[in-house]
Structure 1
Amino acid sequence: MKKLISIILCMAMLAGVLAFAGCKNNKDNQDTTAASTGIDAVNAANTTEPSADSTAAESSTAKETKPSSRPTQTVPAAATTDAQVVTLPTNSTEKPDDGSSTGWNGAGNYKCGSGSGKLAPGEYYIVKTSSNYSALLWDGKKKDDKGQPLAYDITIDGTHTLVTLESGYELYISGCKFINTVSEHPKAVNGKYAPGTYKIGRDIQKGEYIIKKTSGAYGGLSFKKSVNPYVQNVASDFKMVDVSVYYTLSKDGYVHITGCELYDAASHDMASIGCDGTTPAMYKVGKDIKTGTYTITPDGSGKSYYAVYKNSTDASGSARIVETRITKATNVAVSDGEYIWFYRASMKYCQNPNSGLDFDATAASE
């Protein structure tokens, strides 16, 4: 009987301890049991191991979608627009300036709508004239909790940008000039497109281009359907580059060039942008380099790769040799019309491919 009472008392004490631990209150007397249980549930879900079937399926998918082991280049998160919401400056209450819908406009405050002195609704081409610039766009409606107007602070990443104005919008400009795109719009200079935003089909045509990386941790192209900051417009489609490459522009809408320059491939080759056939880049066989066998030598970083593509329209889908990491000098044969790309390595033309690696090879373009 004493043993039975002892067992019952122990069980009661254990239940009390568990109840106390499970219902422990925080300093504000708020029950934390639910939150704790939720965290445990999440942790349990996160630590569940996949079945053999799911692991095999995931492995198969990974091989199909990413044949290369090269680390994926980090792409910055896409913003809803390329502008930030800010409170308008105090001088925004001043009388609007008279705007021209056909000629260039300078610094000032402008309203969009019908009537004398107002800008006609439409698309405008804003060109940065000073590093100390400001371009604010307000729809005439959005305000903060104090009733102050909230506008979009438009970022001009490059030489210029494009923006759509609707009736009722107000534009506040300094360090810039702007004009309706019916009268003037961005375009190439000698086949080169500077960083900025372009409308595909008007400012820049579809076709093959060379993307020359110029600066920053990343560079490339992003695409979107609208240049109105008030339109939900997530630029989720990117073409990022770590070396200069060929690229076929085939999308609609707008393309934004950042951290690089775009060259018309019909009037430029890799040599014209500083790539001599030996330095990391993508080269077109028969144009930049001749048909034959090349020796690719890694730089010793352990991050050297190469690939061979059939075209620049769908590089990943047309790969004859997918991105492959190399740790020693490798011979690669290429044919006319193909594209060879390499990263963190050097390349030379191999004079005697049948005798093995030719470390005294001539330059690729010779």
Structure 2
Amino acid sequence: MKKGLKFGCLGIIALIVLMVIIGFLVGNDEEVIDKPDVNQESATDSNAINTKEETTESAEKEEAGSHAIKAGTYKVGTDIEAGEYLIFSEGFGYIEAAKDSTGNLESIVFNANLTEDSHTYATLSDGQYFKLQGAKMYPVTEAPSVIPEDGVYRDGMYRVGKDIPAGEYKIILESEAGMGYIEVSKDSSYDLESIVTNENLQADTYLTVQEGQYLTLQGAKIETK
């Protein structure tokens, strides 16, 4: 009788131990199933960051483009503020500042033709009438950079110290016609008295520019890399 009870107790104990082991194994299995995939979460987070950066970059470009002043004739001080602007040609462009709206040649303060895919600076004064054709412009504080990513400066006007460092450069003639033009000026007023030096090019040359000056290239280039 005592033997039977002993075996019975042992059986109950063995059954309890077996149930504990099964419960432990089942619990471990559930933990493995519910464990998150760390690599998958990292990839998802990375994709979210990249998408956010692309969206931000796109929004910044759209915002910059929305500041552009499109082709037209504007009265400075009424339609647009006086100050300095950066102008980008859209194909071939033309700019003109006049003292009044008579259309007389004597009223023209300055004018310039813009070559394809070029840019220039212009400072406008109150009361002037500014004509913008085949181009768009921005106040300089809102304008896109004109620093070339490949380090090659081509047709356009560059502010020394901002768009191109001061120093000596080799000017390389690039025009297929065999004629180029370079000009260094004190400002972007287009006043003849502001010109420091200018030259029609028929061959390569060297030029030194200083901080604050404006360098104009036409049919020529500067390689900085």
TM-score, normalising length: structure 1: 0.38
Give the counterpart letter for 1:346 in structure 2: K
Distance 1:336 1:241, change over 3 A: same
Query: Does residue 185 of structure 2 align to residue 313 of structure 1?
Result: no
Give the counterpart letter for 2:89 in structure 1: K
3-state secondary structure, aligned to 1:248: strand
TM-score, normalising length: structure 2: 0.60
The count of corresponding residues between Structure 1 and Structure 2 is 155
Unaligned runs of 5+ in 1: 1-187, 227-232, 350-361
Distance 1:295 1:273, change over 3 A: closer
> How far apart in 2 are the matches of 1:253 and 1:309?
21
Give the counterpart letter for 1:240 in structure 2: A
CA contact (8 A) 1:213 1:220 kept: no
> How far apart in 2 are the matches of 1:276 and 1:303?
22
Unaligned runs of 5+ in 2: 1-63
Counterpart residue number, 1:240: 112
> How far apart in 2 are the matches of 1:286 and 1:200?
28
The CA deviation string for residues 9-60 of structure 1, in whole angstroms up to 9 with x for no partner, is xxxxxxxxxxxxxxxxxxxxxxxxxxxxxxxxxxxxxxxxxxxxxxxxxxxx
**Structure with the higher strand share, 1 or 2:** 2
Report how far residue 280 of structure 1 moved. Answer: 1.0
> How far apart in 1 are the matches of 2:148 and 2:76?
23
Decide which of 264, 277, 285 is 2:139's aligned counterpart: 264
Post-superposition, which runs of at least 4 consecutive aligned residues in structure 1 deviate over 4 A? 272-277
> How far apart in 1 are the matches of 2:150 and 2:111?
20
> How far apart in 1 are the matches of 2:129 and 2:74?
6
3-state secondary structure, aligned to 1:286: coil
Q: Max radius of gyration: which structure?
A: 2
> How far apart in 2 are the matches of 1:194 and 1:239?
17
Report how far residue 296 of structure 1 moved. Answer: 0.9
Kindly, what percent of the aligned residue pairs are identical?
Answer: 28
Aligned CA-pair RMSD: 2.8
CA contact (8 A) 1:210 1:246 kept: yes
3-state secondary structure, aligned to 1:317: helix
Counterpart residue number, 1:342: 217
Query: Does residue 142 of structure 2 align to residue 293 of structure 1?
Result: no
3-state secondary structure, aligned to 1:240: strand
Decide which of 57, 67, 74 is 1:198's aligned counterpart: 74
Query: Does residue 79 of structure 2 align to residue 207 of structure 1?
Result: no
Q: Which has the higher contact order (CA 8 A, sep 6+)?
A: 2
> How far apart in 1 are the matches of 2:150 and 2:79?
27
Give the counterpart letter for 1:302 in structure 2: G
